[in-house]
Amino acid sequence: MAISLSNHSVRHLRLRAQLLFPQPLSAARNIAQVVQSLCGIQAQEEPSAALAIRARTTGLIAANVEQARINERSIVRTWGQRGTLHLLATEDIGWLLPFLGPVFIAGDRRRRAELGLDEDTCARAIHMLRNVLANQGPLTRAEIVEQLAMHSIRLEGQARPHLLGRAALEGVICFGPNRGTEPTYVLLSNWLSHKDIRHPLSEDAAYRELTRRYLHAYAPATPEDQAAWSGLPLSKTRAAWQSLADELLEVDVAGIPVWMLKSQAAWLDEQPPTSSIVRLLPRYDTYLLGYQSRDLAVPREFAKRINAGGGIVHPTLLVDGRVVGTWKSQQQKNQLNVRVEPFGSFSAEIYPGIEAEVADIGRFVGVQASLQVM
């Protein structure tokens, strides 16, 4: 008979899997460890991705994230799950891109054709892109467009990001160093050392590996949750879960089966923290992107305050795994003003946790931070 868990218990287990539990300094994680443990961090906004890492580490600063990406090159910014921009661990690039890329390239074929990017045009453009970056990279998007136009390949409007996204999913390019506030692109093969990259996996092995990695970071969960998080077909995801049945532990939440890895079973016997876990999560945080439904984390009556449409997921105030408000920040010179907007009243014991989070965000970005609760 499956173990029955309360919603509160599930949220605590997910916080643990998401590395959002408090950690002692002796167990401080580095950036590549966090990115690999979560199997990627959504990164269409670099500052938000950095703040997601802050919430899961101790003592790091924002500059360390860029150092890991540019100097150490232990993480890579490229297109990943759901065909969206992610930070991925360099060690995972060699199996994730060949696995994810063909799915999202095929899924975007019709849109590319509407933009004038048929298969022949894409092949010619990516071939020329290789040559241009090999000789002149790193280059900004505008510079790439200019160089391709000189070779009779003209890209207009949304054709530009769609071509670059396809080239990245093919493993040809990734993001390089920023030039001021403008990102640049480089050849992936030149940017990374091959000794740091795992070999590709067969499709079946990749699905199994992704399932293990997903559950490591998001359990308790379901195959439907994984399919929503990855953007991959549910039928193949279910098949991977079935093939790993001996490694999975079924638990019950309000009569609905969800699963964990058996290696996580000891978590069920751990005592919960004695005080509330308070986190200020950034836009697009993985905690809110990992499941088919956010109902366990976000009260339905406030769902539109988290996601008002257009795919935007707003910054959230999280208490014990449940979203109880949103927050915004505004920086003026050396001062960061953080405004928290709770959904309702909350107990006084939460305030020290919010104040600590605001102070830590200020430390992370290198400025003094002040808190205003609306």
DSSP string, 212-225: HHHHHHH-SB-HHH
**End-to-end distance of the chain based on CA atoms, in angstroms?**
47
Does position 26 have pLDDT exceeding 60, yes or no?
A: no
Q: Which residues pair with 327 in a beta bridge?
A: 340
pLDDT of residue 311: 80
Q: What is the pLDDT of residue 1?
A: 62
pTM: 0.94
DSSP 24: -
pLDDT tens by residue, 142-176? 999 999 999 899 999 999 999 999 999 999 999 99
Closest CA to 278 of 220, 374, 348: 348
Q: What values do phi and psi take at 236, rounded to 5? A: -75, -35
pLDDT of residue 87: 98
Write the CA distances from 233 to 100, 104, 219, 236, integer angstroms: 11, 11, 19, 6
CA 370 distance to own-chain centroid: 27
256-261: strand order across its sheet: 3-5, 248-253, 256-261
Model confidence at 332, in pLDDT bands (50, 70, 90)? confident
What pLDDT score does 235 carry? 98
Tell me, what's the pLDDT at 272? Answer: 78
The values of phi and psi at residue 62, to 5°, are -55, -35
* Residue 289: closest CA among 231, 229, 349, 342: 229
% of the chain with per-residue pLDDT over 90: 86
Q: Rounded to whole angstroms, how far apart are CA atoms 312 and 252?
A: 31
**What order do you get walking across the sheet with 322-332 strand by strand?**
278-281, 316-319, 322-332, 335-342, 368-373
Task: Provide the pLDDT for residue 75.
Answer: 97
Residue 110 has pLDDT above 70, yes or no: yes
Find all residues with CB under 8 Å of 127, minimum gap 6, and list them: none
pLDDT at 314 over 80: yes
Q: What is the mean pLDDT of residues 310-323?
A: 92
Helices then strands, counting H and E runs in the chain, come out as 15, 14
pLDDT of residue 117: 95
Place of tokens 């109902």: 295
List of E strands, 262-367: 278-281, 316-319, 322-332, 335-342
The pLDDT of residue 186 is above 80: yes
Contact by Cβ (8 Å): 188, 137: no
Say whether the peptide bond before residue 220 is cis (omega within 30 degrees of 0): yes
Instruction: Give tens-digit pLDDT for 196-250.
Output: 677 899 999 999 999 999 999 999 999 999 999 999 999 999 999 999 999 999 9
Predicted confidence (pLDDT) at residue 23 exceeds the cutoff of 90: no
Q: Is the pLDDT of residue 52 over 70?
A: yes
Round to whole Å and give the CA distance between 61 and 22: 17
Q: What is the token pair recorded at 101? A: 């890329």
One-letter amino acid at 142 equals: A
Q: How many CB atoms lie within 10 A of CB 362?
A: 20
Distance CA 280, CA 95 (A): 32
Tally of residues, the chain: 374
pLDDT for res 27: 59
Distance between alpha carbon 147 and the CA centroid of its chain, in Å?
Answer: 32
Q: Are the CB atoms for 338 and 361 separated by under 8 Å?
A: yes
Question: What single letter denotes the amino acid at residue 112?
Answer: R
Residue 180 has pLDDT above 80, yes or no: yes
Split at pLDDT 50, 70, 90, the class of 24 is: low
* pLDDT at residue 347, as a whole number: 84
234-239 LR contacts (CB < 8 Å, sep 24+)? 236/203, 236/207, 237/207, 237/211, 239/207
